Amino acid sequence: MRMLIVLLIFFLSLNAKMPQSINFVDPKLFSGTWFEIARTYNYFERDCLSPSVEYKLVDIDKFEVFNRCYDKNDTQRIIAYEGKAVSKEKNSMASIDMTYFYIFTSEYRIIYLNDYKTAVMASTDLKNIWIMSKSKDIEKDELNKILNFLDDYIDISKLIYSSHS
């Protein structure tokens, strides 16, 4: 009976749709400020307006990460938190370990990248997904392309869209 349950779990995991990370993400080109276009719900951004994240390259495979947004309850107040990112592959940001508050580490992957202008970062279980752009706005065709890509993996109707006005 145990063997049957193990085999069932194994075969179900094979059927789970999971996008591959991009083969190579140049850390220097990925560096800089990215504006959040849309995301899945996460507790730490529940009060955020106009969120952005800055990846500052400090070594060939290490980044300082600065998340910022305005507090939706007091738009004069900025919510900010810092973290560290370490590449899981030498010279590539395709898969990274992000650490916040010194103890919370999660693996994230770049699963979509268009010429370092737009990207999608996701946790390995797809519970946390961010559509990001190097500019505050994204072209409608590009957003539709990303949404069509994500539609194979998640319920895109649950995405939360950010405004940067």
Q: Other CB atoms closer than 10 Å to residue 56's CB: what's the count?
A: 14
Express as a percent the part of the chain with pLDDT over 90.
78
Contact (Cβ atoms closer than 8 angstroms) between residue 75 and residue 83 = no
Residue 4 has pLDDT above 60, yes or no: no
Contact (Cβ atoms closer than 8 angstroms) between residue 24 and residue 32 = no
**SS3 assignment, position 117:** coil
Q: How far are the Cα atoms of 12, 82, 93, 111, 158 from residue 17, in angstroms, in the given order?
A: 10, 31, 22, 13, 18
Interatomic CA distance for residues 77 and 64, integer angstroms: 22
Q: Among candidates 45, 136, 35, 29, which has minimal Cα distance to 91?
A: 29
Q: What's the whole-model pTM score?
A: 0.87
Q: What is the pLDDT of residues 78-118, one digit of tens each?
A: 999 999 999 999 889 999 999 998 888 999 999 999 999 99
CATH of region 19-161? 2.40.128.20
pLDDT of residue 165: 74
pLDDT of residue 1: 54
**Phi, psi torsion values for 81, nearest 5 degrees:** -150, 150
C-alpha of 80 from chain center: 17
Burial (0-12, 13-18, 19+ Cβ within 10 Å), 98? middle
Interatomic CA distance for residues 45 and 52, integer angstroms: 11
Any bridge partners for residue 47, and if so which?
Answer: none
pLDDT of residue 164: 87
